[in-house]
Copies of this chain bind each other. A is one copy, B any other.
Amino acid sequence: MSHVTVPGTRTGLVEPHGGALVDRTGERPDDLESLETLILTPREVSDLDMIASGALSPLEGFMRREDYARVLEDMHLGNGLPWALPVCLAVDEAPEGDRVVLADGSDMPLAVLEVEEVYEYDKEREAERSFRTTDEAHPGVARLYAQQPNYVAGRVTVFTRPEPAFPELALDPAETRRLFAERGWKRVVGFQTRNPIHRAHEYLTKGALEIVDGLLIHPLVGETKSDDVPAATRVECYRVLVDNYYPADRVVVSAFPAAMRYAGPREAIWHAICRKNYGCSHFIVGRDHAGVGDYYGTYDAQLIFDELEPHELGIETMFFEHAFWCRACGSMATPKTCPHSGDDHVFLSGTKVRELLEAGELPPAEFSRPEVAEVLIEAYR
């Protein structure tokens, strides 16, 4: 396993979850041929890689039953640390031998797992606890129900990291931490997104940045639903937005390699914990974070943080309401900061925005930066 110098307390950055950044990268063993191979789904490959990089610290592998059960039960690991979602590897049956090879969909070996435990799990219960629904129309539930019936648990050692979709945006937690430390940042706010950033989210990220040292725009580029805007288009949107409207020395744009789970409230906590590992002291939670369809209430992903003790998470959450341009204020605002009626607010539904863009028309500049809209128009062409 390579040794990574992890800027942490010494630099004034927030500590990783559990106190130390996990590094589960290592050498490729010589005996791979003799081991059974498990083929991982894209979501499992993404989890594996995030374990390797320490993005899921303190996890060193796929979860044992004790951790899994307690996470579902009360959102803590067996050791008492807060944790919100299962990170598990599904198998048909217990593998032979005490080590197995983990390979991606093209059968390329990525890692070895030391088998500690194989256990049955209750899909309905996991669905109910993780997703608050057992409706198979929910994309997370659908994926869960399609899984093999057992979980195999154990520490992993990753010798081949999957090729990142956007190499120029690929930064492991140790790398973002080093970057933050080099810039002298102590308080860094992380922003999760899987959409292009329009003025509403620009407003939230800048408002958050005003009271910390730096901003990590951390778009999820792992597996998403097919109707989300493709990652390549989004990445281009982030680039033109940041180039034109953010000070370069206050912002880092990097890709968050997780797959979407669409678990709403629990995924918001999980996203916050991951960003703590990347060195963020603060994390933005907006409306319907990580939601899908109508499964979660608008502010459920904010309210769930009250179920943890204050400061238990070790990362400060910043909750925001729906933002809009208000003509009477002459500024962006939310219902918290604007007293005027909806007549003064520039509001466009997602459908309306898509219609405009597909027709090659720019939405109002109060809604979307023209540079961003141009990228989207180009993509819809």
| Residues of chain A whose beta carbon lies under 8 Å from any beta carbon of chain B | 203-204, 206-211, 244-248, 250, 318-321, 329-339, 365-366
* A245→B318 contact, CB < 8 A: no
Measured between C-beta atoms, what is the minimum distance from A261 to chain B in Å? 26
State the CA gap A245–B320 with chains docked (Å).
19
- Chain B: minimal CB distance from A337 (Å): 4
Q: Are A211 and B337 in contact (CB under 8 A)?
A: no
Ordered by A's residue number, 18 sampled pairs between the chains whose C-beta atoms are within 8 Å are A203-B331, A204-B210, A206-B337, A208-B211, A210-B336, A210-B337, A211-B211, A211-B318, A211-B320, A245-B329, A245-B339, A246-B337, A247-B337, A247-B338, A250-B336, A250-B337, A331-B331, A331-B332
Q: Min CB distance, A209 to chain B, in Å? A: 6
Q: Which residues of B contact A250 (CB under 8 A)?
A: 336-337
Cβ-defined contact, A330 with B365, below 8 A: yes
Complex Cα distance, B209 from A248, in Å, reads 26
Chain B: minimal CB distance from A212 (Å): 9
Selected from B203, B204, B247, the residue in CB contact (under 8 A) with A336 is B247
With a CB–CB cut-off of 8 A, which chain B residues contact A206? Answer: 333, 337
CB distance from A86 to the nearest CB of B (A): 31
Closest residue of B by beta carbon distance from A282: B211
Q: Which residues of B contact A210 (CB under 8 A)?
A: 204, 207, 320-321, 334, 336-337
Closest Cβ of chain B to A201, distance in Å, is 13
Most buried by B among A207, A211, A321, A335: A211
